[in-house]
A and B are shown apart, each in its own frame.
Chain A
Amino acid sequence: MSTIQSIAGELEPHPDVALVSRVREGDVSAYDELVRKYERQVFRIAQHITQNREDAEDVMQDAFLKAYEKLDQFQGNSKFYTWLVRIAVNESLMRLRKRRTGKMVSIDEDIETDEGSVPRDLADWAPDPEQNYTQSELGKILEKTIKGLPPGFRVVFELRDVQGLSTEDTAEALGLSIPAVKSRLLRARLQLRERLSRYFKQKRGAKK
């Protein structure tokens, strides 16, 4: 999967910089490349927040169209993908508000929960526990498990652990502080671990 992490280091300009410049000069094919590069990631973020397939499809389209329209406002001091994620998150939240008839939905409210902060299920997992399920069963388990987390936790986990963004980029994309990202990531990881233990732990008496 493509991520926005620069392998070459800080001094090398990110490849997106050249693509963004070409789009600004009117080269639509350069935008085609950017859309192709990030569409799957944007769709997943939208799905994590809205939990609705049709909404995620609409958000993905709206986010790319809005980014295209507002490209002049994009400051080169942030990464294109970070900026795009911010647009996608806002679009997703707007979609949620519509569904919940105007009720405020925010990604930055700190969710007070102790769940997962103290691990309770301390049984070891079977070796390669995912092998005990078909791809489709596993997909359902993973979806069901992550759905139980608050949206702000789900999206931090997706950006940091699945897409591989840095803590700093995740904070910028979500408009959160770095300590808030760290705190959510720890709680998200522990809550997911706790919930997956129900499926993956070693059966009593089974050999290691």
Chain B
Amino acid sequence: MTCTEFLALLDDLIDDSVTTELRGELQQHLHKCGHCEVVLNTTRKTIQIYRSHEIYDLPPTLRERLHAAIMARCKKGC
């Protein structure tokens, strides 16, 4: 397996949607390719960081204000 072939399957590996056989081939490539190992680990870390540090979160007071405005209009029939 080449690095290009590995990269094409990177998402499937991260999303755990590869067959056992293919996973074995990907693992084999990782054993001998430090660069692809770094790409895999840092891509996983990228996802994990964005997932655990929610950007653009609504502050509670703004959330309540917007929520109240929506519901007030719905109750009036919009």
Contacts and interface: CB of A to CB of B under 8 A. Distances in A.
Interface string A128-148: 011000010011001100100
Interface stretch (A43-51, A79-87, A99-107): A43-51
Most buried by B among A124, A135, A143, A185: A124
Contacts of A39: 58, 63, 66-67, 70
Contact of A64 (B41, B63, B70): B70
B11 A182 contact: yes
A4 interface: no
Given A65-B73, A138-B53, A193 B67 contact: no
Contacts of B51: 161-162
A189 B11 contact: yes
Interface in B1-35: 7, 10-11, 14, 35
Contacts of A182: 11
A3 B57 CA distance: 15
Given A44-B54, A125-B45, A185 B74 contact: no
A60 interface: yes
Given A65-B74, A68-B78, A189 B56 contact: no
Most buried by B among A47, A60, A200: A60
A197 interface: yes
Contact of A142 (B49, B62, B67): B49
Contact of B74 (A36, A60, A68): A68
A122 B55 contact: no
Contacts of B57: 40, 44
Contacts of A32: 71
Given A31-B74, A61-B70, A64-B70, A47 B56 contact: yes
Interface of A: 1, 28, 31-32, 35-36, 39-40, 43-44, 47-48, 56-57, 60-61, 64-65, 68-69, 117-119, 122-125, 129-130, 135, 138-139, 142-143, 146, 157, 161-162, 182, 185-186, 189-190, 192-193, 196-197, 200
Closest 3 CB pairs of A and B: A47-B56, A193-B46, A44-B56
